[in-house]
Amino acid sequence: MSMLVLGIDTTCDDTSAAVVRSGQTILSNVIASQYAAHEAFGGVVPMIAAREHARQISFVIQAALDKAEVRFSDLDAVAVSCDQGLLLALVVGVSAAKSVALACNIPLIGIHHLEGHICSVLMGEGPGPAFPFLCLTVAGGHTLLVRVEDHGQYEVVGSTRDDAAGEALDKIARRLGLGYPGGAAIERVAANGDATAFALPRPMIRQKTLDFSFSGLKTAVVRVMDEHPDLCVADLCASFQQAVVDTLVIKTMRAARQTSLTRIALAGGVALNSLLRKTFKKAADRAGLQAFLAPRALCADNGAMVAGAGYFLYRERGADPLTIETRANAPLGRLSV
Ligand code: ZN
């Protein structure tokens, strides 16, 4: 069944819309970033995010249609992230999607934002992982290890107990005055540093749990900064980045062993980090597992992954009513350990 799906994402600080054919062929993927609006605050301000989404959303949708060379009347469905994110930000995207569904008389599909990230690993050039697979999805708002049974069927096997990995990177970058977004800034500065310069903890790696905790690592970095006022920032960034990456990879490999899954995937905004991509792949190779990395263009929040996930969910369970709501915190999947 060939289907042209418009995907909309306004979860955090990116206004995005995309047109994707049958969950695979990306005809357009337009992202309007709000970095400039939040930069002065060193992080995302929810009210400003919502206002910026409202300002941008119609232009972004039109740009996605134009770039894909399609009209509203060509669309077969509209998918939108309605779960997981900043509530007021989500409301803008969901309202826009409902309007499109109503005006075009096409099905509306609401997805959990993380379903989009997970789906991104299936949308690369080559073949994606066959089900079931393990997916590490890691970003500013979440750090999650998920057993993906099928489209729409997930079991969360590990998650963060405090800060998300991306959040820890952002906070330390802010503390070091490196600007926002922090992950990219840390990676840039770390390129000239020595990752062995500072001995930082790899939190909770000795415990059997598959959960993460990054707040202790963040505190350890702050302590180093206080103790060494003249430290080499590049060395600290490199050491910190290495500690975050090691922790993520060690836990993923443990989860693969515990769940007996042989295919592991990496998605989310922090999956843009080159050291994480390289280390993830290397560890998988060493353990005889297959690694699948989300394409770089689909790592940050984007509408294409939403259109992709929406297409597959629509095939599984059909359309959602126009009354769907938004939830800032929503569980992913029906199974939970
Ligand atoms: Zn996200």
Q: What is the pLDDT of residue 180?
A: 77
Instruction: Find out whether 166 and 139 touch, Cβ atoms under 8 Å.
Output: yes
| 333: confidence class by pLDDT, cuts 50, 70, 90 | low
Q: Where in the chain is the domain with CATH 3.30.420.40?
A: 4-118+299-317, 129-294
Using CA atoms, how far residue 115 sits from 68, 162, 244, 281, 306, in Å, is: 23, 21, 23, 22, 8
Q: In which element (H, E) is residue 157 found?
A: strand 153-159
What integer is the mean pLDDT of 129-133?
98
Specify the higher pLDDT residue, 71 or 40.
Answer: 71
Judge residue 256's burial from the number of C-beta atoms within 10 Å of its C-beta, 0-12 exposed, 13-18 middle, 19 or more buried: buried
Please give the distance, rounded to the nearest whole angstrom, from the Cα atom of residue 120 to the centre of ligand 1. Answer: 11
Q: Which two tokens stand for residue 140?
A: 């500013």
Residue 157 sits at φ, ψ, to 5 deg, of -105, -15
Q: How far apart are CA 221 and CA 217, in angstroms?
A: 6
Given a cut of 70, whether residue 251 has pLDDT beyond it is yes
CA angle, 115 then 154 then 106, to 5°: 45
| pLDDT tens, residue by residue, 134-184 | 999 998 888 999 999 999 999 999 999 998 888 899 899 989 999 877 899
pLDDT > 90 in the chain, percent? 82
Please give the distance, rounded to the nearest whole angstrom, from the Cα atom of residue 186 to the centre of ligand 1. Answer: 19
Please identify every residue whose CB atom is under 5 Å from ligand 1, which is an ion.
Answer: 139, 301
Please give the distance, rounded to the nearest whole angstrom, from the Cα atom of residue 170 to the centre of ligand 1. Answer: 15
What single string gives the DSSP state of each residue in 241-255? HHHHHHHHHHHHHHH
Residue 169 sits at φ, ψ, to 5 deg, of -60, -45
| pLDDT tens, residue by residue, 199-237 | 999 988 888 899 999 999 999 999 999 999 999 999 999
The domain 4-118+299-317 is placed in CATH, from the list 3.30.420.40, 3.40.50.150, 3.40.1360.10, 3.10.129.10, at: 3.30.420.40
Q: What is the pLDDT of residue 35?
A: 80
Worst-scoring range by mean pLDDT, 36-50, 143-157, 238-252, 276-290?
36-50
Worst-scoring range by mean pLDDT, 24-28, 85-89, 319-323, 328-332?
328-332
Chain-wide mean pLDDT for the chain?
Answer: 94
Question: Would you call 135 helix, strand, or coil by DSSP?
Answer: strand
Question: Would you call 237 helix, strand, or coil by DSSP?
Answer: helix
| pLDDT tens, residue by residue, 23-50 | 999 999 999 988 888 877 777 889 999 9
Q: How far apart are CA 244 and CA 138, in angstroms?
A: 11
Q: b vs e for 127-147, b when ≥16 Cβ sit within 10 Å of the residue's Cβ? A: ebbeebbbbbbbbbbbbbbbb
DSSP state of 160: B
What integer is the mean pLDDT of 74-85?
96
- Cα end-to-end span (Å), the chain: 35
Specify the higher pLDDT residue, 321 or 166.
Answer: 321
Judge residue 324's burial from the number of C-beta atoms within 10 Å of its C-beta, 0-12 exposed, 13-18 middle, 19 or more buried: middle
The highest-level CATH class for domain 129-294 is alpha beta
Q: What is the pLDDT of residue 337?
A: 31
| pLDDT tens, residue by residue, 303-318 | 999 999 999 999 999 9
- The structure's pTM equals 0.95
Q: How far apart are CA 136 and CA 139, in angstroms?
A: 10
Please give the distance, rounded to the nearest whole angstrom, from the Cα atom of residue 231 to the centre of ligand 1. Answer: 33
Given a cut of 50, whether residue 335 has pLDDT beyond it is no
Please give the distance, rounded to the nearest whole angstrom, from the Cα atom of residue 321 to the centre of ligand 1. Answer: 24
Q: What is the pLDDT of residue 240?
A: 96
